[in-house]
Amino acid sequence: MTASTAVPGRHDIEAVLARHIVARSVYVGPPLIALFWVTSGWDGALASAIGLGIVVVNFLVTGWALSIAARHSLALYHAAALFGFFLRLGLITLAMVVAVSLVELDRLALGLTAVVSYLALLTWEAVAMVKGDEKELEWS
């Protein structure tokens, strides 16, 4: 399916999933930021917020890239999903290294927030999909 022959009313499912994940970051982020604020002060809270921001941007880019790839071909979608995963992990790492080199950040808070928030948000979305909580994504 190409962009010119897109199905009318078709959702960009991947982008919708990314927006759901980003919306849930409002619940996952503050406890992590508060935890690192208590344990490491403002430096820890800032690093935690930056780590969460990196993860949120990663999910948005993922949804956007997969939605565009899905409009063009199944092979491109598969390539974007497989190779894009490794590319995005590399970009997360690069973003964290650049952030730490530009600003003095609590590396532990940055890294733990990125890993915990990534896994928590991904798990939360997967559970919501399995339970059928995402009604706007149903095809029927």
The pLDDT value given to residue 74: 87
Joined together, the tokens standing for residue 13 give 């499912």
Report the interhelical angle of 13-72 vs 74-102 (nearest 10°).
Answer: 120
pLDDT single digits (tens) 37-63: 999 999 999 999 999 999 999 999 988
Contacts of 39 (CB under 8 A, 6+ apart): 109
pLDDT tens, residue by residue, 82-116: 888 888 889 888 999 998 889 888 899 999 999 99
Q: How confident is the model at residue 120 (pLDDT cuts 50, 70, 90)?
A: very high
Q: Where are the domains of the chain?
A: 12-128
Q: Is 28's pLDDT higher than 90?
A: yes
Q: What pLDDT sits at residue 11?
A: 65
